[in-house]
Amino acid sequence: MSELRGKYIEAVARAADEAALEEVRLAALGKKGEISAMMATLGKMAPEERKTAGAALNILRDEIDAALRARKAALADAALDARLKSEWLDVTLPGRPRRAGTIHPVSQVMDELTAIFADMGFSVAEGPQVESDWYNFDALNIPPEHPARQEHDTFFMHRAAGDDRPPHVLRTHTSPVQIRAMMDRGAPIRVIAPGRVYRMDMDQTHTPMFHQVEGLAIDRDISMANLKWVLEEFCRAFFEVDKVELRFRASHFPFTEPSAEVDIRYSNVGGQLKIGEGEKWMEILGSGMVHPKVLQAAGVNPDEWQGFAFGMGIDRLAMLKYGIPDLRAFFESDLRWLRHYGFSALDMPDLAAGLSR
């Protein structure tokens, strides 16, 4: 029995791989193995002899089985060590970069101007993009004969034959939001209304859908001087310049009186646009004091309250600040454009610092 034990323990130790180890196991413990054959002869022995021989064979079988398991584990460890030496990985290296999504320039500018006006006490108001004819035109003192109310300028919603409801339109500006805000909150009020607007226009500088922000401030003693200060502070913070010069030109809007187009001083040298310097002027927005009829339509008494309103194109502001040459680029499907002009979701400009200049 001891010779048999030494034979197989030595064979197990000599096994160089798992295949050789399996051959040793089959030779010793397999169905036709030597120890299995000896176990099969126990039935022919006398009881006392069978008891002694059986115990010895069980011990031998367990020892060989333990040796086989230990050798198999040792071979597996050796194989793993060999792989680690040949297939090493430096876990201190940075991970493979994954292209992250970016924020569209229009969304970025919306966030910027919202933060800037919030620092001046303006909250954000919202309204539906499909508006009634009354909110979009009548409440804003736009007469029936005004060109904006014609089908070649405005998207009117389809009406079935016999449908006599007042017409609905895709809003042509966010001014209806001002009416809704005044009707909901009354006066005093200070809001901005950013959002999509729609007009039947399409060329290099116009698209049928674009983005606009309008501002409204109503109180008892508000004047054009307050309007001028708000717009100057906004331009200084948004364009991140220390000096801003605005020019107010008399104009006409049905919903404001007096009304003014607002130009900003700039220069353009070698294709580089710089705000706040130079000899050129560029129109950037419209503004004025809210017309008394607009206040009345919104349920605000014009004998007690007055205020200013302004409106500007968000797409155009993005083009001016970030050097985007063509408005139509905002709607291109080429992702290379957005990767060039897009903004990281983790980048947030220091807008408060801009206002403190």
Q: Is 331 helix (H, G, I), strand (E, B) or coil?
A: helix
Is 257 known as a binding-site position? Answer: yes
User: β-pairing, 246-253 with 130-132?
Assistant: unpaired
> What would the pLDDT profile of 184-231 be if each residue is shown by its tens digit?
999 999 999 999 999 887 766 667 888 999 999 999 999 999 999 999
Task: Count CB atoms within 10 A of the CB of residue 53.
Answer: 17
- pTM, to two decimals: 0.67
Which amino acid is residue 274, in one-letter code?
A: K
Each domain of the chain, given as residue ranges in start order, spans 1-87, 105-341
pLDDT band at 245 (very low <50, low <70, confident <90, very high): very high
Res. 357: pLDDT tops 70: no
Architecture of domain 105-341: 2-Layer Sandwich (3.30)
| The two structure tokens encoding residue 292 | 């008394």
Q: Is the peptide bond before 166 cis (omega within 30 degrees of 0)?
A: no
- pLDDT tens digit string along 304-321? 999 999 999 998 898 888
